[in-house]
Amino acid sequence: MELTRILIVDDEPSIVKMLQMVLRKEGFNRIYTASSCQEALSEIAAHGADFVLLDVMLPDGTGFDLCPQIRSYGSPHILFLTAKASDLDVLTGFAMGGDDYVTKPFNPLEIAARIKARLRRGGLGRTVAAEHRPIQRAWDFGRFKVDETAGELTVLGEPVPCPAQVFQLLLYFCKHPGVVFSKSQLYEAVWGIDGMGEDNTVMVHIRRIRERIEEDPSNPQYLLTVRGLGYKLMKEKGR
């Protein structure tokens, strides 16, 4: 954790200090701060970031507008921290490229837990090696392919950009084809913490996956909704 770079973008000094204090107690030492969009971009350019804790309302713009600019510097995990709690705001945050969304007021220990959970996701699948079975790292669904090692989604032979959390959710489905998962199961498996009350997060990421892999996202053939139960990923017939 000492190598994990965290950028806090918020113009409320009390929130920044509180997050810094708690994150340092939890073992995170490379913490940078910014109070505006311009400062955030300067910090990203100078230090990079693995996680960005991003406020929505900033003095020189919004976190929603800043999010795609941050993405141009790489693929950090972007977690919105905001008092804007409407469904539209949450959906906008995900649509602009956010990976997670926490409304103010919040418990800073929850933020640390979410970061740790996301870091743990890198260890998924390693236990298979202990059983001396080959580890599958690539999946071919006909129309699209997912390569875990390369971190790449290709659709009809062309690479398709995929934000980190969207890719992780798709990857989880790939590892369990044909299995139905509830929203809470998916949230706990991919985000790493209890999924109660996180329906919007999963639904938005499901939609973002469909927009990439389906010919007609409104009439999916691969990532299906199982009414009353959840979602499952199906392979192309004959594969």
List of domains in the chain: 5-121 (3.40.50.2300), 128-233 (1.10.10.10)
Nearest to 16 by CA among 39, 43, 38, 35: 35
Is the overall model pTM greater than 0.85, yes or no? no
pLDDT band at 173 (very low <50, low <70, confident <90, very high): very high
The predicted-structure confidence for 180-208, as pLDDT tens digits, reads as follows 888 888 887 787 765 554 667 888 999 99
Please give the Cα distance from 38 to 187 (Å, whole number): 33
The predicted-structure confidence for 16-42, as pLDDT tens digits, reads as follows 999 999 999 999 999 999 999 999 999
SS3 content of the chain, % helix, strand, coil (to 5): 40, 20, 35
Mean pLDDT within 96-101 = 84
